[in-house]
């Protein structure tokens, strides 16, 4: 890899995005040699790490949106979509949640965050193959950051306004879906920022 063009220009993250094709007269391409060189291994690891982070954020958002366990009160769980009471044994009685406007806005924010994250993943794979060398994954990063902001605003609105459609009682505590939503927010933000900083290398 000695004859290849120099690696670093200031401002890059130090490692490239894709394995470099071998330059004329130096090194060997990854596949034909059978031995993966050190830098390409690092690049692949970085790529894998980024994708794993993104998929984690996506899973967190999906679970938090779909599972209706934002509030827990003894045997009862409530929000976002239905309020369930566990009767004797494993019998659940479920009713649809309130039609309050604030609850609807929380639902809208969670759905939007899932949409943005999925779009971001799709755009990432698009930009991976179409971006010019040295280009940045702006669109991917922006959509992921938007997803993070949507989750945060949804969780915040829920925290402030959930007493509007639930009578406040002493035993109510926040369920695990609510905690997952707050967990997804910093991860999504970090993932988006990583995309914005990253540069594509051939």
C-alpha 169/C-alpha 4 separation (Å) is: 68
Q: In whole angstroms, how close is the CB of 96 to another protein at the nearest point?
A: 8
Q: In whole angstroms, how close is the CB of 124 to another protein at the nearest point?
A: 15
C-alpha 157/C-alpha 119 separation (Å) is: 24
Here's the x/- map for another protein, 140-159, by CB under 8 A: it reads as ------x---x---------
Q: In whole angstroms, how close is the CB of 99 to another protein at the nearest point?
A: 4
Residue 4 is classified by DSSP as S
Here's the x/- map for another protein, 72-101, by CB under 8 A: it reads as ---------------------------x-x
Q: Which are the contacts of 117, defined by CB distance < 8 A and separation ≥ 6? A: 54, 57, 58, 61, 143, 144, 147, 188
C-alpha 123/C-alpha 95 separation (Å) is: 38
Residue 108 interacts with another protein (CB under 8 A): yes or no: yes
Among 112, 145, 184, 198, binds another protein (CB under 8 A): 112
Q: In whole angstroms, how close is the CB of 158 to another protein at the nearest point?
A: 14
Output 43 or 65, the one with its CB closest to another protein.
65
Among 82, 104, 163, 173, binds another protein (CB under 8 A): 104
C-alpha 92/C-alpha 85 separation (Å) is: 6
C-alpha 176/C-alpha 162 separation (Å) is: 16
C-alpha 7/C-alpha 15 separation (Å) is: 8
C-alpha 161/C-alpha 71 separation (Å) is: 13
Considering only the stretches 41-49, 104-112, 167-175, 192-200, report the one whose residues sit in contact with another protein under the rule CB under 8 A: 104-112
Residue 105 interacts with another protein (CB under 8 A): yes or no: yes
Tokens coding 137: 């994954």
Output 43 or 152, the one with its CB closest to another protein.
152
Residues in contact with another protein by CB under 8 A are: 99, 101, 104-105, 107-109, 111-112, 115, 139, 146, 150
């Amino acid at each position: 890899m000695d004859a290849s063009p120099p690696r670093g220009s200031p401002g890059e993250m130090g490692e490239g995005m894709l394995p470099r094709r071998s330059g004329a007269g130096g090194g060997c391409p990854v596949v034909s040699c059978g031995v993966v060189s050190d830098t390409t291994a690092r690049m692949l690891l970085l790529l894998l790490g980024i994708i794993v982070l993104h998929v984690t954020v996506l899973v967190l958002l999906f679970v938090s949106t779909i599972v209706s366990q934002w509030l827990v009160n003894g045997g009862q769980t409530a929000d976002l979509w239905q309020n369930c009471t566990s009767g004797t044994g494993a019998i659940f009685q479920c009713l649809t949640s309130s039609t309050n406007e604030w609850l609807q806005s929380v639902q809208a924010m969670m759905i939007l965050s899932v949409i943005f994250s999925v779009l971001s993943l799709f755009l990432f794979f698009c930009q991976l193959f179409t971006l010019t060398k040295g280009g940045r994954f702006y669109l991917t990063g922006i959509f992921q950051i938007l997803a993070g902001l949507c989750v945060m605003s949804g969780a915040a609105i829920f925290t402030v306004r959930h007493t509007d459609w639930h009578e406040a009682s002493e035993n109510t505590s926040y369920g695990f879906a609510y905690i997952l939503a707050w967990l997804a927010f910093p991860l999504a933000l970090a993932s988006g920022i990583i995309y914005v900083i990253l540069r594509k290398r051939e």
